[in-house]
Each structure stands twice: as structure tokens, then as C-alpha cells.
């Protein structure tokens, strides 16, 4: 397969996944903000989203203050912000357009209509209709896009690159959501009604509330939440699950340059496979997640060098 085609497929799936996870993160922050708290605390939660995405400077250049409305506007509909949901949906569609002969008609139309509809929604319209509705819509469009991929695309190399993009992005994004929320939640760690709702919202943001109940049949504790989202092997948004898929799909597309990238993916996977949540928490969850996200970044870089923009063997 043409490297450029693989590159477009990889990024098409990363951007739609990123849009979905951003919707999830904003949704959980929005829900948590409805629990009684000080204004400062609330604004800190919003600020954490900006910092998490390394957007402090870009945000400060356009918006005078950190508050719910400004952060939502910036992260939902700001066309100047390349990390906004608006931009992610646009970039997913642009990548799809460049390979519309490779993907199926259903996939193309799904991503294209998603972008068309997103483009036509102003931030005010989104607010008026209920921002929660919008986040649901983004999640559904992302699901639809995954569904048409699964239901219509030949499972050849193109499919493997799409899966690789989805899972790598999701691993990074789940780690981010956990990092930012765990961080905020942990210091107030006394047992209480507030915490229950906060942890509940976090679990819901990764569609893991019912999963948690089913898996533990017990009260929600931060340790178990971390365990579920990091180590659970069969939970589709956990880091372990994502790495299962990354390793598998990398094996399927391997070429003669990709040995080191495969080794690193395998190592990361093995560490998740044999890890205990006590050890991770003892090391410090924030430190552990930061290291994980760095390694995901290195993996993405390796995939890019090995497959997507190989140096021309001309020179």
C-alpha cells in the first residue's frame, strides 16, 4: 500500500477517535462541574483540560479568562484551535477525502456528513440545544464511523492502519482523561457522596460505569477505577486493551524497518499485562501515566517513520 494512503488512513482514524475522546473528557468535566463546589475549583477543572492539551498559550491569546464557557467554546467550535472537536472532525474528513477511493462509500459518507453537520452548528446553537446532546452526537458519529469500517471494509492492510490509529489514539486519550481527573479527585479523597458522583462521572465518560459494576460488584474506589481503566484486559477503552490491538496490528503490517517499533510496543504491552495496580500507585499514578503517554508518542513516531513517510531510498 502507498505510504501516503496509509498515512491518511492512520490519521483519519486518529482524528475521529480524538474528537470522540475530547467529547468524553469535556462531557465528564461538564457533569462534574454541576456538583456543588467553589468557583475556583470549578475553573481549575476547566483549566486542566487546556493544560493537558498543551494549549495554554493559544487559549490565553484569544480568551481573557478560564471558565466553563470559554474553554468549551475553545475546545468545541474554535476553528483556530487545531485540537477542537470542530477541527478534529474537519481533519478526519480531509484525510478521508484524500483516500476516498480506498475506503468504502459508506465510510466516506459517514465522515463527510459528520463534518458537514458539525460545520453548520454554531457554538450558540450547540449550547441552546444542550451541550450534552452535542457530546452524545459526536460519540455516536464516531461509533458509526467505526461501525461502517468494521461492517464494510476489506480487512487488509488499510484496516490494520485504521485500527492502529484508533487504538493508539485511544490509549493516549484514556490515559489523559484518567490523569487529569484522578489528579483533581484524589486530594479530596474522603469517602462521600460528592466523590461517588465524581468517580461515577469519570467512569461514564469512558463508558465504564456499568462495566465497573459488573466487574467488581462493589463500591467505587479510586484504586479499582485505575485498575479498570489501565489493566483490565477486556475493557475496550483500557490501556491494556488498546495495547493488545496495537501489538496485534503492528505484527500484521510489519516490514523490514519496523523491528524496533514492534519491540517497544511489545515491551509496553508486557508491562501492562504483568503489572499490579498497587505498584503503579506506589510509583505515583501521574508519573506512571506521563511515562505511558511519552511511550505512546514514541510509538506513533516510530510507526510514522517505518511506514508512513519512509525516507525515499533515492538519496
**Which residues between 149 and 178 bind other proteins (CB under 8 A)?**
157, 161
User: With binding defined as CB under 8 A, does residue 106 bind other proteins?
Assistant: no
Ramachandran category for residue 207: left, alpha or beta (phi over 0 → left; psi -120 to 50 → alpha): left
Choices 59-67, 70-78, 94-102, 120-128; region in contact with other proteins by CB under 8 A: 94-102
- b/e for 10-21, b at 16 or more Cβ within 10 A? bbbbbbbbbbbb
Choose which of 11, 108, 135, 199 interacts with other proteins (CB under 8 A). Answer: 108
* Dihedral angle sign, alpha carbons of residues 291, 296, 300, 305: positive
Decide: 238 and 174 in contact? Cβ < 8 Å. yes
Q: Are 63 and 70 in contact (CB under 8 A)?
A: yes
x-or-dash string of contact with other proteins, 21-60, rule CB under 8 A: ----------------------------------------
Given the complex with other proteins, which of 116 and 270 has the nearer CB atom?
116
The DSSP secondary structure of 119-186, one letter per residue, reads HT--HHHHHHH-HHHHHHHHHHHHHHHHHHHHHHS-SSHHHHHHHHHHHHHHHHHHHHHHHHHHHHHG
CB of 74 to other proteins, least distance (A): 23
Q: Output 88 or 253, the one with its CB closest to other proteins.
A: 253
| 28 or 96: CB nearest other proteins | 96
Contact map string, positions 198 to 217, toward other proteins, x by CB under 8 A: --------------------
Give the nearer residue to other proteins in terms of CB position, either 8 or 170.
8
Choose one: 45-53, 167-175, 189-197, 305-313; the region binding other proteins (CB under 8 A): 305-313
Distance between CA atoms of residues 94 and 30, nearest Å? 29
Pick one of 98, 184, 252, 293: the residue that binds other proteins (CB under 8 A).
98
Taking CB under 8 A as the rule, does residue 3 contact other proteins?
yes
**What is the rounded distance in angstroms from the CA atom of residue 42 to the CA atom of residue 230?**
26
54: left (phi over 0), alpha (psi -120 to 50) or beta: left
Compute CA 20 distance to the chain's CA centroid, rounded to the nearest angstrom.
7
Is residue 312 a contact residue for other proteins (CB under 8 A)? yes
Q: How many CA atoms lie within 13 Å of 48's alpha carbon, on the beta-carbon side? A: 22
Minimum CB–partner distance for residue 256 and other proteins (Å): 7
Three cell numbers, residue 108: 466516506
Q: Is 109 in the site for other proteins (CB under 8 A)?
A: yes
Question: Does 219 interact with other proteins (rule: CB under 8 A)?
Answer: no
Q: Given the C-alpha cell 469512558, which residue does it identify?
A: 206
Residue 44 burial (10 A CB sphere; 0-12, 13-18, 19+): middle
Put residue 130 in one of left, alpha, beta given phi > 0 → left and psi -120 to 50 → alpha: left
Q: Which is nearer to other proteins, 264 or 304 (CB)?
A: 304
**Residues that contact other proteins, how many (by CB under 8 A):** 28
* 244-273 residues near other proteins, rule: CB under 8 A: 253, 255-257
**Binding positions for other proteins, rule: CB under 8 A:** 1-6, 97-98, 100-101, 108-109, 112-113, 115-116, 157, 161, 253, 255-257, 307-308, 310, 312-314
Amino acid at each position: 500500500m502507498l505510504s501516503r494512503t496509509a498515512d491518511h488512513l492512520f490519521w483519519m482514524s486518529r482524528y475521529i477517535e480524538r474528537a470522540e475522546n475530547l467529547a468524553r473528557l469535556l462531557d465528564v468535566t461538564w457533569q462534574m462541574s454541576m456538583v456543588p463546589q467553589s468557583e475556583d475549583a470549578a475553573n481549575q477543572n476547566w483549566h486542566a483540560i487546556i493544560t493537558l492539551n498543551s494549549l495554554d498559550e493559544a487559549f490565553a491569546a484569544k480568551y481573557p479568562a478560564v471558565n466553563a464557557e470559554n474553554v468549551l467554546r475553545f475546545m468545541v467550535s474554535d476553528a483556530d484551535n487545531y485540537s477542537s472537536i470542530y477541527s478534529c472532525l474537519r481533519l478526519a474528513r480531509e484525510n478521508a477525502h484524500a483516500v476516498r477511493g480506498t475506503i468504502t462509500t459508506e465510510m466516506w459518507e459517514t465522515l463527510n456528513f459528520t463534518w458537514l453537520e458539525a460545520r453548520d452548528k454554531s457554538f450558540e446553537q450547540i449550547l441552546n440545544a444542550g451541550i450534552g446532546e452535542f457530546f452524545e452526537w459526536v460519540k455516536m458519529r464516531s461509533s458509526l464511523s467505526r461501525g461502517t469500517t468494521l461492517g464494510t471494509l476489506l480487512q487488509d492492510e488499510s484496516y490494520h492502519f485504521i485500527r492502529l490509529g484508533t487504538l493508539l489514539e485511544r490509549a493516549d486519550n484514556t490515559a489523559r482523561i484518567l490523569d487529569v481527573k484522578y489528579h483533581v479527585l484524589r486530594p479530596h479523597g474522603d469517602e462521600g457522596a460528592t466523590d461517588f458522583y465524581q468517580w461515577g462521572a469519570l467512569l461514564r465518560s469512558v463508558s465504564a460505569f456499568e462495566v465497573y459494576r459488573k466487574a467488581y460488584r462493589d463500591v467505587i474506589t479510586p484504586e479499582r477505577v485505575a485498575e479498570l481503566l489501565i489493566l483490565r484486559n477486556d475493557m475496550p477503552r483500557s490501556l491494556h486493551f488498546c495495547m493488545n490491538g496495537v501489538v496485534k496490528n503492528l505484527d500484521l503490517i510489519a516490514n523490514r524497518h519496523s523491528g524496533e517499533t514492534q519491540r517497544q510496543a511489545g515491551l509496553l504491552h508486557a508491562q501492562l499485562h504483568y503489572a499490579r495496580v498497587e505498584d503503579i500507585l506506589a510509583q505515583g499514578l501521574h508519573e506512571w501515566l506521563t511515562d505511558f503517554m511519552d511511550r505512546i508518542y514514541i510509538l506513533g513516531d516510530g510507526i510514522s517513520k517505518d511506514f508512513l513517510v519512509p525516507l525515499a531510498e533515492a538519496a
